[in-house]
Amino acid sequence: MKSFLKDNPIFALSLGLCSALAVTTTFEKAYMMGLSVLFVLLFSNIFVSLIRKHVSTSIQIPVFILIIGTFVTILSLLLERFMPSLYDSLGVYLSLITVNCIVLGRALAFASKNSVGKSIADAFKIGIGYTIAMMLIGLVRELFGSNTLTFMNDISALTGYRLVFKNVLPFSLSILATPAGAFITIGILTAIFNFIRSKYESN
Amino acid sequence: MNLINLFVSGVLSENIVLTKFLGICPFMGTSNKTKDAIGMSLAVTIVTTLSSIITYLLYNYVLVPTNSVYLKTIMFIFVIACMVQILLIIIKNKFKKLYQSLGIYLPLITTNCAVLGITLLNVNSGYSFMQMLVYTLSSCLGFSIVLCIFSSIRENLSEDIPKSFKGYPIAFITAGIMALIFGRLI
Amino acid sequence: MGPFIKSSNKTSRMMFNLLIALTPIILFTVYKHGYIPYTHGQVDVFGIFYPLLFVLIGSLTTFIIELLYYLIIKRTDEFKTSYGFFPGLFLALILPIKTPIYVLLVGCLVASLSKIVFGGFGRNIFNPALIGYIFVVATFSFVFSTSYYEVDTVSKATPLTNASMVSGIGTYDELVKPYGDLLDFFIGTTPGSLAETSTLLCLLAFIYLTCTKTIKWRISLSYISTVFLITFGISRLLGVGLYYPLFHILSGGLVFGAVFMATDPVTSAATTTGQIFQGILLGILTCILRFTTTEGVATSILIMNMFVFILDKMGSRVRFNSYACLPWVVLVCFMIIVSMFVLASKKRVVAEKDPNFNIVNKEVTDNKTIYTATQKGYGGNIKADVVIENGKIVSVEIISHNETKDRYQSVTDANYINKLIEGQDNLKNVDTVSGATVTSTSLRKLLINVMEDFH
Amino acid sequence: MKIKIDKHKLTDDKIMYYNKPEVVYIPLISGNDTDITILVKKGEYVYKGGIIAKRKGDLRIPIYSSISGIVLDFEEKTCFNGTKVKCVAIKNDFKEAMDKKLTIKKNINKYTKEEFISILKDSGIIGLGGAGFPTYIKYEGTKAKTLIVNAVECEPYITADDILAKKRCEEILETIDAILEINGMEKAIIVIKENNVELKNIFDDYIGTYLKISLKTVKNYYPAGWERNLIKDATGLEYDRLPLEVGVIVNNISTIYAIYDALKYGKPLSERIVTFSGEGIKNPTNILVKVGTPVKDILSQLKIEDDHILISGGPMMGIKVDNDLVLSANQNSILLLKPLNCKETQCIRCGKCIEVCPAKLSPVLIMKAVNSKNVDIEQLRKLHPEKCIECGLCSYICPACISIRDAITKAKKMVKEVK
């Protein structure tokens, strides 16, 4: 709870916003994006940590970006093969994980200075915090915006199950599904988050 | 007419910041002062335009013929990173004054998702060269306009905002309202 | 420290003046949306005062929300000077009278929140009432369908929706005639939201508010004149009469927006030059938006809210150096001229695909084509069979409809279908049936769409 | 936009005298400068017009005693600008003894320029309009061609200059003529308010014989008496920093009369007319007082009401002071006003302060900039707060009762400090 409140990449640090805003129209897309970032973050952290002693600081950024880019490419090839519809709906935002500030930020700030084990732990801590935040945003936006809840639809190509609820609520605020709604949802959630955190910290 | 439509929608209704959420990091992070916003948007425009042309050519004349389209992300980011470095060196040596005003913004651009995003969108949408150019320029213009407006608003936000909303939340909400308004401009 | 004397024009006084200026407009809505329907037996005695109640609910809602907020944060003294009822009042005035109350309440909630979130009165960046308005537009778009503007005995589209239905640039008969003449526009008996139509009262309010130094008159003046300039230019370019610019000024709540909404002190430019440019840009935006969407005033005011600080920066420099506004002057002139020519050239034909039109079936045999098509009417889809022989409509048969009995009756009474068949060479010029404007317009549009598909 | 402010009680048309103070306290201040060398000792006898102190530095101008008597002590008293200033307390012996005889010069235009300057210096003539800046500096070595005489009292309540002009019209015209002749200047313009018909008629009666002097009426607004406005209204000229750039010298009408005294009688500046007005004074009036007279003494002679605040200067630019105030030469009015009952509310960006600002500033923007958490000095500098003349119109007009002028003064300081 404490690390979720303190180091949450979206709500506390406001990093990786691009995907948090763009692909949170459905719950499924949101958590799949979170998991994708976790995947890239994990492997890039491992590799960066492994080669950290052989890279001088001056070329750190390009090298790290190339490492991250490689894993993003691997990830997109995997998704394209196994979950083509998800790959389509994530679209360009999947490639944009390459320049996601969270991944590069952790590589620079943590993995390049710490051992592999610690880097893995860090990747999980940050990645899971990110995924939870994404799930939260996706939940709010889909439930209130489109009045549906998609747990499994695009990924059914892999799992074979579909789990979609429709007309969950008696009303819907379609605005939340729009780009404007994305900003407003994150704004309000961040405010609530700040509120909880200040209460938590004062205790 | 088609190009004009593309241009107008690129600036307004398809604004990369407000509808595609590209370049959000500088949008939220560096845009507290109008001066910074102008510098940032200039730097982004230059880098994006140049790298769009190069990546477009690279994609259509190298990656597609060699059947290695899947490498686009990594190739593009490589091009952008090189572009930023080269520009930095050129500006540093030739245009001292420009370097002083733009120098601090350029390194940040490598990790600006607007640049990579626009180059990827260009090839994904299958634009012709002219369309690509128009789309890139209109996106950059859209980015600059929104960035300048947003920074001028943030500069003037009151100190009396409810405590929980201070900082990022109010910025998000402002951006949301802006997106709502821009969305009406179809 | 000094000064030890103060001008008597306090904020409270300004707000009071605003209220005084709004009173006749509110009373007029009682007449227009309460009394006239009452005389036609559409509403009971209670219905006369419904507009008043509507406005009251709106203002009370925002008032109560702000009261609650200040109670929670324990700064009640600030509440006294926050004028919480204004956003709701304005929001109620710019909504159609038939808006369901829950929609009004949600709108008011959003309006209040958009004010509170920025720190309350005087700190908001965007006009709260208009934020509430576009939220309602985005979320409950059905409110703005024609039927919610019902006034008089007849349900009519608002002049602007009508204008955009016919074409961007219409003739006098298309634009003005269905609603009477320009005087009716001026006095404000044309359909529209609560306050948006009584131009006369708005002008009186403008004079009052300017004399009492309550509003930034430069914005209203430059706004209205720019709209006039552009539409006048368009009318010259197309060779249509003076009715065209006047129609644009008198419809769509432009004057109400220019006098009350655009001049909201908090969300408009503080510098004089900034105010003038704000007005001019508002005018340009409104004209452009009217040709691309149906409504332009609210959106353009909100857009200009974003530019206020940039305009003020320019305005403060112009005070020392008049040349500082040169780029803006060039920009504005360029925009005016370009928008004039582009809009004039954009003689909008009916949208290529009418979303309310649907072809159910199409049979082609030799020189005979039978269409089964639907068009949205007043109460739902009107389904009809249209037979075309040798490129001419020979028969139209209505299969099903959801129109009210009266309306449908008046269409059949007027033998409207035959009139349409007779005037098929120029369908747009066939007059609609008074008392069933929407139904008859839909029928006409059905035929227009069918013919378009046929060609 | 020009603001008219004249809803106030006017003084009657008389000059009262209060020339028998028991003790005077001569404030050791010149302009805003208090770095002054005292030339007398405790217990020493001083003559009326005797030099008791001298200002240090370049702008040497003496400070005179306004009465004859014995120096009692040096005391801190409140001065016109609200600060506590060291004063020389002199006990009046009511003899009005002078150390030299008054010489009456018949033709005051027979001086050379050098003599004129030295008389101005020796008589301690300072600008009596408010700033208290030594007058001789304006004339020393200038090539100005036009003299503008400021008889526009734009602040409400104050009529001291007006009454002086009415009573001493001939002397004033004579002095202006002499100044023109001595300094080889071409013309003089006396500027008065257009609604002051009475004064205009009086001048019209006498002005005919002076060909170089003309009368100009200006609209009644605040601040019509500000140098920049005055010159623009009178001659149409605009300047960048100092009026001398366009060959203009501006003198207040009471300064002119002080020059007359100096030229005619060699009398140093030791008394002046002060307006006592405001709601707190039952019959507002103008009183001729000696420099250094404690205000308490004068107020005790007038019918006054309690619960009013004492203001040194006009209602717009004046300063709230305690009643320990002593009068100095550049004090033109003492007001007793009701305290303002006005609670500051939120700024609504109505833009009224921008409309009224005579210095073309954008007060609300400056206020926002200076009150923000981290002030951007560069941005602030672009708004030019240093151009503020502190006329107070922005605070006057503000519907939210915000003291905008104070914020701008703060910005002014900030811009000056951070170079």
Nearest partner of D156 among D325, D302, D309, D3, judged by Cα: D3
Contact B153/C73, CB-based, under 8 Å? no
Query: Do C420 and C447 meet the contact criterion of CB atoms below 8 Å apart?
Result: yes
Contact C2/D346, CB-based, under 8 Å? no
Contact B176/A17, CB-based, under 8 Å? no
Structural element, H or E, at residue A149: strand A148-152
- Identify all chain B residues contacting D368, using CB atoms and an 8 Å cutoff: 156
Say how many CB pairs under 8 Å bridge B and C. Answer: 65
pLDDT given for residue A42 in this prediction: 93
**Nearest chain B alpha carbon to A74:** B70
Nearest partner of C193 among C239, C245, C271, C260, judged by Cα: C260
Angle between helices D160-167 and D169-183 (to 10 degrees): 90
From residue D403, alpha-carbon distances to A1, B103, C127, D203, D379 in Å are 48, 42, 26, 40, 21
Question: In sequence order, what are the residues at sequence separation of 6 or more whose Cβ sits closer than 8 angstroms to the Cβ of residue C18?
Answer: C86, C209, C214, C215, C260
Q: Is the pLDDT of residue C148 over 60?
A: no
pLDDT given for residue A157 in this prediction: 73
Nearest partner of C66 among C21, C122, C8, judged by Cα: C122
What is the count of structural domains for chain A? 1
Per-residue confidence in pLDDT tens, chain B, 186 aa: 578 778 888 888 888 888 888 888 777 776 577 777 888 888 889 889 999 999 999 999 988 888 888 888 888 988 888 888 888 888 888 777 777 766 667 777 777 788 888 998 888 888 889 989 999 999 999 999 998 899 889 888 888 888 888 888 999 999 999 998 888 776
CATH architecture of the domain D113-265 equals 3-Layer(aba) Sandwich (3.40)
Give me the domain span that covers residue A173: 2-202
Per-residue confidence in pLDDT tens, chain D, 419 aa: 456 665 566 777 888 888 788 899 988 887 677 778 888 888 889 888 888 888 776 666 788 888 889 998 888 888 888 888 889 999 988 888 887 766 777 778 788 888 888 888 888 888 887 667 788 888 887 778 899 999 888 788 888 888 888 888 888 999 999 999 888 888 999 999 888 888 889 888 888 888 889 999 988 888 888 888 888 888 888 888 888 888 899 999 988 998 998 888 888 888 888 999 888 888 888 999 998 899 988 888 888 887 888 988 888 888 888 888 998 888 888 988 888 888 888 899 999 999 999 888 999 999 998 988 778 888 888 899 998 988 889 999 999 999 999 999 999 999 988 76
Chain A residues with a Cβ under 8 Å from any Cβ in chain C? 173-175, 178, 180
Distance from CA of B159 to the nearest CA of D (A): 8
Q: What is the mean pLDDT of chain C?
A: 82
Token pair in block for residue C303: 């857009």
Query: Do D339 and D357 meet the contact criterion of CB atoms below 8 Å apart?
Result: no
Distance from CA of B176 to the nearest CA of A (A): 4
In tens, the pLDDT along C308-337 reads 999 999 999 999 888 888 999 999 999 999
Contact D368/B156, CB-based, under 8 Å? yes
Provide φ and ψ at C390, rounded to 5°: 50, 40
Contact B159/D372, CB-based, under 8 Å? yes
For residue C281, the Cα-to-chain-centroid distance in whole angstroms is: 18
Mutate to test the interface with B, among D372, D373, D378 (most CBs of B within 10 A): D372
Q: Is D381 on the interface with B (CB under 8 A)?
A: no
Helix ranges (DSSP H) in C30-49: 36-39, 45-48
Query: Do D75 and D89 meet the contact criterion of CB atoms below 8 Å apart?
Result: yes
Distance from CA of A173 to the nearest CA of C (A): 6
Chains A/D: 3 or more C-beta pairs closer than 8 A? Answer: no
pLDDT given for residue C368 in this prediction: 77
In tens, the pLDDT along D33-72 reads 777 888 888 888 988 888 888 877 666 678 888 888 999 8
Pairing relationship of beta strands D15-18 and D36-38 according to DSSP bridges: unpaired
Q: Is B179 on the interface with A (CB under 8 A)?
A: yes
Residue A164, helix vs strand vs coil: strand
**Which one of D348, D364, D393 has the shortest CB-CB distance to C11?**
D348
Q: Is D344 on the interface with B (CB under 8 A)?
A: no
Nearest partner of D85 among D406, D386, D325, judged by Cα: D325
Question: In sequence order, what are the residues at sequence separation of 6 or more whose Cβ sits closer than 8 angstroms to the Cβ of residue C254?
Answer: C223, C224, C227, C248, C286, C297
Query: Do D330 and D128 meet the contact criterion of CB atoms below 8 Å apart?
Result: yes
What is the count of structural domains for chain B? 1
Give me the domain span that covers residue B137: 2-183
In tens, the pLDDT along C248-269 reads 888 878 899 999 999 999 999 9
Say how many CB pairs under 8 Å bridge C and D. Answer: 124
Q: Is A78 on the interface with B (CB under 8 A)?
A: no
Q: Is B1 on the interface with D (CB under 8 A)?
A: no
Look up the ipTM and state it: 0.88
Helix ranges (DSSP H) in C261-352: 272-292, 297-318, 326-345
Which tops the pLDDT comparison, B123 or C433? Answer: B123
Q: Is A200 on the interface with B (CB under 8 A)?
A: no
Distance from CA of A157 to the nearest CA of B (A): 21
pLDDT given for residue C347 in this prediction: 56
Contact B181/C117, CB-based, under 8 Å? no
Q: Is D383 on the interface with C (CB under 8 A)?
A: yes
Structural element, H or E, at residue D85: strand D84-92
Q: Is C135 on the interface with A (CB under 8 A)?
A: yes
Contact A72/B73, CB-based, under 8 Å? yes
Most confident of A50-54, B42-46, B75-79, C217-221: C217-221
Nearest partner of C349 among C300, C416, C291, judged by Cα: C291
For chain D, the structural domain boundaries read 15-101+268-337, 113-265, 352-417
In tens, the pLDDT along A86-117 reads 888 888 888 888 888 888 888 888 888 888 99
Token pair in block for residue C199: 């131009």
Mutate to test the interface with A, among C135, C139, C302 (most CBs of A within 10 A): C139
**Which one of B34, B165, B177 has the shortest CB-CB distance to C131?**
B177
